[in-house]
């Protein structure tokens, strides 16, 4: 399983210029998914992600948020990464603004286990500070992909 | 060293479950606390906690927004929070869990318990317990209602309140074995698809005279047949919807039914015929040995072929005015539940709270000659309990014959004592039952494993 299948240049935003609204960030990243062929029906997917945010914020603390959605609008599993130019409010658990966003797209139908395994490994890794720091200081898409590849 | 366990889960099962797991593991490592974290996410249950680990754990942290099958932690100290708290304050959760005091008895019990038991054995025990715990209310209600009906006389007139009560009690008792089989099957099949074949198999087990052991066989048969069908029957996508509503119910009930009738039922009727002629042959031999054999037969399957044959044999002799075997049979049928009751009194630590409560009910059922009162204990651990019951009942039956006790009524238990002249050599008869009860209790206590994870 290759990380390139999940994370492509179109879905890496270094940095993401933003008006600092949560929905705006999600929409910009969803547009990246559309370009990469991960998402077909962008609106459907965005609604799924926003619905998930409604139930409880995906801001997990440490300046990281992981919005995600499972939707019929998704063609194949995908991952998007954004380093925000300005930290954004995300109603995080620790009430700190967010500067790293990982967005996850999962199709409605059963997704291959390997994809899930990568997302699982990534989730676990995000708990560790050195991993987060590497991502925060990454200056190119390759560096981001490399960091995740070697996690 | 205090060991901790944790379970994490969230609705999507992709991110939070694993972040919480990782962050709890990290916090535990920082504190040098051994921990194992089960994750219940989109890739299934990973790192699953075993019953033994649960038994040995100091406390359990649950960080979850969905159901995590908490029943298995019954009696253990639990720190329960939302999954997000698992990510945010893992250190605090670990401190809280360490500060919990384990409930009395359980650490000792778990360290004494035979440690190495393979997963299959534990699985079998879990399935049995699922059947037994669902059957228990029927035993209690049915047994007690029958006992109450005796208060209105042993032969209540048709249509009288006593007769009505007796039929209500019998209705409850008659569903014991089907429910036992149904919930064993439910547990194995992992869902409600197991119920129908289990119920039918259990009912057939009683009809062919298989008793509760037949019910256990039916339950396991139904459970594995259903599980196998769920796994291996593949249908084209358009017909997939038919699988749970039509295909599996039809085939599982049919297969289990055929197996029960032909593979289990036929040999059972041969067995019962063979046993009857064997007992008839023994009638002329030593009376004490006959009493012992009848007694052991009463206890071996409590309602199964051996029990039925012994009981029918003894009641048949009543017509020929031979009253000794009937006395032996009733005494031996009373000692399993009475012995269980005594065991739960003298060895409290070996029984869970639920079992001790069931023990109290068993005393009333034993006094009323409702041997079924011991079935929940026998079904939960047949290999250890049934030998104890058999030896106790065998000795009781032999003593009853030795003391030349006689009984003219085919049922009633202690209520028969109130009828003048129904029992010959009454005092010695009571002594035989008392000795059998004590012996059964000692053997039950001796054979029984220490109690499992409950409490």
Whether B84 and A123 lie within 8 Å, measured CB to CB: no
Q: Which of A116-125, B236-245, B367-376 has the highest mean pLDDT?
A: B367-376
Average pLDDT (A89-112) is: 81
Contact (CB<8Å) A60/B15: yes
Give me the pLDDT at residue A2, please: 65
Q: Around Cβ B337, how many Cβ atoms within 10 Å? A: 36
* H helix count then E strand count, chain B: 20, 7
pLDDT of residue A114: 60
Give residue B136's pLDDT: 84
Structure tokens at B169: 């009690």
**Domain ranges, residue A107:** 3-149
CA–CA gap between residue B222 and residue B430 (Å, rounded): 43
Contact B43 A93 (CB under 8 A): no
Task: Tell me the C-alpha to C-alpha distance, in Å, between residue B426 and each of B318, B325, B365, B435.
Answer: 18, 15, 20, 14
A124 and B87: CB-CB below 8 Å? no
C-alpha dihedral sign at B118, B120, B125, B130: positive
Tens of pLDDT, residues A20-77: 688 889 999 999 999 988 899 899 899 988 988 887 788 888 888 888 887 888 888 8
Contacts of B18 in chain A (CB under 8 A): 120-121, 123-124
Q: Report the gap between the CA of A9 and the closest CA in chain B (Å).
A: 22
A interface mutation test: which of B8, B12, B17, B37 has the most A CBs within 10 A?
B12
Query: Predicted ipTM?
Result: 0.79
What is the reported pLDDT for A130?
Answer: 86
| pLDDT, average across residues B382-398 | 94
Pairing of strands A98-107, B423-424: unpaired
Task: Tell me which H or E stretch contains A45.
Answer: helix A42-55
Q: Name the residue facing B43 among A60, A113, A126 (closest C-beta).
A: A113
Averaged pLDDT score across all residues of chain A: 83
Reported residue count of chain A is 151
Confidence of residue B343 (pLDDT cuts 50, 70, 90): very high
pLDDT for position B333: 95
Say what the pLDDT of residue B120 is. 57
pLDDT digits (tens, 9 = 90+) for B134-145: 888 888 888 888
Looking at beta carbons, which residues of chain A come within 8 Å of B9? Answer: none
Contacts with B350 (C-beta within 8 Å, 6 or more apart), sequence order? B343, B445, B448, B449, B450, B451
Q: What pLDDT, on the 0 to 100 scale, is given for residue B325?
A: 93
Q: What are the chain B neighbours of A123 within 8 Å (beta carbons)?
A: 14-19, 22
Catalytic-role residue among A68, A115, A128, A137:
A68
pLDDT at A18 over 90: no
Domains and CATH numbers, chain B: 4-103 (3.40.50.2300)
Candidates A124, A126, A132, partner chain B, best to mutate (most B CBs within 10 A): A124
Q: Is B18 on the interface with A (CB under 8 A)?
A: yes
Listed in order, strand segments (DSSP E) in A67-128 are: 68-71, 78-88, 98-107
With a cut of 50, say whether residue B115 has pLDDT above it. Answer: no
Nearest residue in B to A118, CA atom: B14
Q: Indicate which residues of B carry an active-site annotation.
A: 10
Higher pLDDT, B21 or B119: B21
pLDDT at B102: 64
d(CA B326, CA B313): 9
Domain of residue A91, CATH code = 3.40.930.10
CB crowding B317-334: b at 16 or more within 10 Å, else e: beeeeebbbbbbbbbbbb
Number of domains in chain A: 1
How confident is the model over B292-337, as pLDDT tens digits?
999 999 999 888 888 888 988 888 888 778 889 999 999 999 999 9
Backbone angles phi, psi at A61, to 5 degrees: 100, 175
Please give the interface size between A and B, counted as residue pairs whose CB atoms are below 8 Å apart: 58
Average pLDDT of the residues of chain B = 86
- β-pairing, A12-16 vs A78-88, is parallel
| Residue B136: φ, ψ to 5° | -50, -45
- According to DSSP, residue B246 is labeled I
What is the chain A residue with the closest CA to B11?
A52
Picking from A55, A93, A128, the nearest residue to B87 by CB comes out as A93
The predicted-structure confidence for B144-175, as pLDDT tens digits, reads as follows 888 888 888 777 788 889 899 989 999 998 99
- How far apart, in whole angstroms, are the C-alpha atoms of residue B252 and residue B164? 36
* A137 in B contact zone (CB under 8 Å): no
Contact B15 A113 (CB under 8 A): no
Please indicate whether, in this complex, the C-beta atoms of B26 and A123 are within 8 angstroms of each other: no
Q: Is the pLDDT of residue B447 over 80?
A: yes
Res B111 pLDDT > 50: no
Asked if B258 reaches chain A (Cβ–Cβ under 8 Å), the answer is no
In the predicted model, is pLDDT for residue B53 greater than 60?
A: yes
- Categorize the per-residue pLDDT at B402 as very low, low, confident or very high, splitting at 50, 70 and 90: very high
Residues in chain B closer than 8 A to A130 (CB atoms): none
**Average pLDDT, stretch B97-102?**
81
Q: Is residue B433's pLDDT more than 80? A: yes
If you average pLDDT over residues A75-92, what whole number do you get?
87
CB-based contact (8 Å) between A144 and chain B? no
| Minimum-distance CB partner of A94 among B15, B17, B88 | B88
Q: Return the residue in B17, B42, B63 with the most chain A beta carbons within 10 A, the one to mutate for interface testing.
A: B42
Contact call for residues B294 and B279 (beta carbons, < 8 A)? yes
State the pLDDT at residue B298. Answer: 94
Q: How far is B195 from chain A, CA to nearest CA, in Å?
A: 28
Mean pLDDT of the region B343-363: 88
Q: Give the range with max mean pLDDT: B49-53, B277-281, B444-448.
A: B444-448
Question: Which whole number is the average pLDDT over B193-199?
Answer: 95
Question: Is the pLDDT assigned to residue B105 strictly greater than 50?
Answer: no
């Amino acid at each position: 399983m290759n990380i390139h299948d999940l994370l492509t240049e179109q879905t890496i935003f270094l940095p993401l210029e933003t008006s600092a609204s949560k929905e705006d960030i999600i929409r910009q990243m969803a547009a990246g998914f559309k370009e990469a062929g991960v998402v077909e029906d962008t609106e459907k997917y965005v609604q799924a992600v926003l619905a998930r945010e409604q139930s409880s914020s995906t801001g997990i603390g440490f300046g990281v948020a992981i919005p995600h959605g499972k939707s019929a609008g998704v063609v194949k599993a995908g991952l998007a990464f954004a380093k925000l130019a300005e930290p954004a409010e995300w109603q995080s658990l620790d009430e700190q603004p967010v500067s790293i966003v990982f967005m996850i797209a999962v199709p409605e139908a059963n997704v291959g286990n390997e994809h899930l395994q990568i997302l699982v490994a990534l989730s676990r890794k995000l708990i560790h500070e050195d991993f987060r720091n590497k991502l925060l200081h990454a200056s190119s898409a390759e560096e981001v992909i490399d960091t995740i590849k070697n996690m | 060293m205090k060991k901790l366990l944790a379970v994490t889960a969230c609705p999507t099962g992709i991110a939070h479950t694993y972040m919480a797991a990782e962050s709890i593991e990290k916090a535990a490592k920082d504190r040098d606390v051994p921990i194992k974290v089960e994750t219940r996410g989109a890739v299934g249950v990973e790192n699953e906690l075993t019953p033994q680990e649960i038994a040995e754990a100091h406390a359990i942290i649950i960080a979850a927004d969905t159901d995590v099958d908490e029943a298995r932690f019954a009696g253990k100290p639990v720190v329960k929070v939302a999954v997000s708290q698992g990510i945010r304050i893992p250190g605090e959760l670990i401190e809280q869990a360490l500060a919990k005091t384990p409930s009395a008895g359980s650490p000792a019990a778990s360290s004494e318990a035979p440690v190495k038991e393979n997963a299959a054995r534990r699985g079998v025990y879990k399935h049995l317990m699922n059947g037994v715990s669902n059957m228990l209310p029927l035993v209690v209600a049915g047994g007690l209602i029958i006992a109450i009906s005796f208060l209105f006389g042993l032969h209540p007139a048709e249509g009288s309140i006593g007769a009505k009560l007796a039929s209500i009690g019998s209705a409850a008792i008659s569903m014991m074995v089907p429910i036992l089989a149904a919930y064993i099957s439910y547990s194995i099949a992992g869902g409600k698809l197991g119920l129908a074949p289990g119920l039918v198999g259990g009912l057939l087990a009683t009809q062919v005279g298989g008793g509760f052991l037949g019910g256990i066989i039916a339950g396991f048969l139904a459970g594995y047949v259903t599980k196998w069908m769920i796994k291996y029957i593949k249908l084209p996508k358009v017909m997939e919807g038919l699988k749970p509503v039509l295909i599996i119910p039809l085939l599982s009930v049919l297969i289990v039914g055929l197996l029960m009738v032909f593979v289990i039922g036929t040999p059972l009727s041969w067995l019962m015929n063979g046993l009857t002629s064997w007992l008839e042959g023994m009638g002329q031999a030593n009376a004490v040995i006959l009493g012992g054999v009848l007694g052991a037969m009463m206890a071996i399957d409590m309602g199964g072929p051996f029990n039925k044959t012994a009981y029918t044999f003894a009641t048949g002799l009543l017509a020929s005015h031979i009253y000794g075997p009937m006395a032996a049979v009733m005494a031996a049928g009373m000692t399993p539940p009475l012995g269980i009751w005594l065991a739960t009194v003298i060895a409290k630590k070996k029984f869970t709270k639920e079992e001790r409560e069931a023990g109290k009910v068993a005393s009333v059922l034993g006094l009323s000659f409702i041997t079924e009162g011991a079935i929940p204990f026998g079904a939960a651990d047949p290999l250890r309990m049934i030998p104890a019951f058999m030896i106790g009942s065998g000795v009781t039956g032999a003593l009853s014959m030795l003391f030349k006790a006689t009984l003219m009524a085919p049922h009633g238990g202690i209520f028969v004592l109130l009828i003048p002249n129904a029992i010959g050599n009454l005092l010695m008869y009571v002594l035989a039952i008392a000795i059998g009860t004590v012996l059964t209790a000692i053997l039950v206590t001796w054979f029984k494993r220490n109690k499992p994870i409950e409490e």
